Structure 1
Amino acid sequence: MSETRAERRRRTEERILGAARALFAELGFERATIRAVAKAAGVDPALVMQYFGSKQELFQQAVRVTPAVRSEAGVDGLVEELLSTLSVKMGELPQGTLAMMRSMLTHPEAAASARFVLKAQIDRLEEALPAADARLRAALMTMVMLGVTIGHQLLELDELRSAPPEEIAAALRPALRALAEAEKPADEPADELITGQ
């Protein structure tokens, strides 16, 4: 059975997106060119523009990330769920994710994509945290994990690259639990001390 025109177009679009993800991940938005993407995909640069309209739109399509689904596991389960992603964050990330991370501080479109993904994670964490300042805590937990990922993947820090994910998880666990747990109200022992009771 021969391939339809729509199927050929989809296959070509996917080839272009794959090439774009690889180049944006390696070079970032500014240095990756339409011509280089076209060459890597084996198509004419005009076809890339015909399908995607602009480098900006190509980038937006290439870095689109679907937020992960949140579990209903309580505070401890939430911390363990975050820590369980370390093996992924320390391994080979999807090229769209790497492209977004590499470009998010220099390109507004990448920054917007990163904010969208991070906001979705913060929303999920906030719902599961019992503290009054749950949103702040959720943001801090998210940034801790992002910082570890950037340190390992982009900065290639020896201290992170040489440590197995389980060791990093063990070191992070107390800090993430402290952020996740609501502080208990003080029992007001100070009044007793002042009155001598």
Structure 2
Amino acid sequence: MDSAPVSRAEQRRRTQDRVLAAARRLFAEHGYDRTTIRAIAAEAKTDPGLVMRYFESKEKLFARIAVVDRHEPFGGTPEQLAEQLLAALDAKTSAEPVAALAALRSMFTHPEAAKEVREAMLAEQRHAADALPDDDAELRTSLIGALTLGTVIARYLLRLDGLEDAPPEKITALLRDPFHS
């Protein structure tokens, strides 16, 4: 079965995609400090020199993959806002957020990862706080952010019993009251 020859541009794109996928997995699994360019290249089945050629440095590669999801601005009534935040948590517990986990695992040892996580959380909290009418809006959204962050860390990084295998809808059902309070 003949296949058409693959262009250099297509070969490059495929190699870059393999490197990005390997980097996501390894940074999420081992964190920034314990992940090496050589390990990423081996996982991607390519040469470490190509990884450096395409991405220039470990830090630039990390910045490319360790992006924390940012959501559309929140709005509506406080009840609608709580449900939007619960839906965001449900999405994070339904599928392992590999890129976010790379940032979370690395945030304790790598300043850029900590900055990325903090900026994403602050942006989400500000949008949510703007939609709440009460004086405690900032504190309430910070606590909801802490619950969300703690849930993701406990589920995917610590793999706590009960939480690791819990259905996402059960998690959001149990957190519904605190999110609405």
TM-score (norm 2): 0.86
Partner of residue 37, structure 1: 40
Give 1:170 shift: 2.7
Structure 1 residue 55 corresponds to structure 2 residue 58: yes
AA aligned opposite 1:73: G
Gaps of 5+ in 2: none
Q: Which deviates more from structure 2 when the two are superposed, residues 86-95 or residues 118-127?
A: 86-95
TM-score (norm 1): 0.80
Give 1:45 shift.
0.5
2:68–2:103 CA contact under 8 A, matched in 1: no
Q: Which residue number in structure 2 is paired with residue 74 of structure 1?
A: 77
Match of 1:157 among 149, 156, 160: 160
Distance 1:41 1:78 in 2: 41
2:93–2:152 contact (8 Å) kept in structure 1:
yes
- Alignment root-mean-square deviation, CA: 2.1
Instruction: Name the CA distance, whole Å, in 1 between partners of 2:116 and 2:39.
Output: 23
Distance 1:38 1:138, change over 3 A: same
Partner of 2:98: 95
The aligned amino acid for 2:67 is R
Deviation at 1:164, TM superposition (A): 3.0
User: Where does 1:108-119 land on structure 2 (aligned, <5 Å)?
Assistant: 108-119=111-122
Rate the CA distance shift 1:2–1:73 in 2: closer, same or farther, 3 A: farther
State the partner residue of 1:132: 135
Alignment of 1:158-197 (within 5 A): 158-178=161-181
How far residue 66 of structure 1 moved from its aligned partner, in angstroms, is: 4.3
Question: Which structure would you say has the larger Rg?
Answer: 1
Name the structure 2 match of 1:142.
Answer: 145
Q: 1:75-120: CA deviations, max 9, x gaps? A: 1111112222343332332321111111112211211111121122
More displaced, 137-146 or 85-94? 85-94
User: Which aligned runs of 4 or more in structure 1 are off by greater than 6 angstroms?
Assistant: none
11 and 123 in structure 1: CA distance in 2 versus 1, 3 angstrom threshold: farther
Cα distance in 2 between the residues matched to 1:141 and 1:61: 27
Runs of 5+ unmatched residues, structure 1: 179-197
Measure, in 1, the Cα distance between the counterparts of 2:129 and 2:8. 46
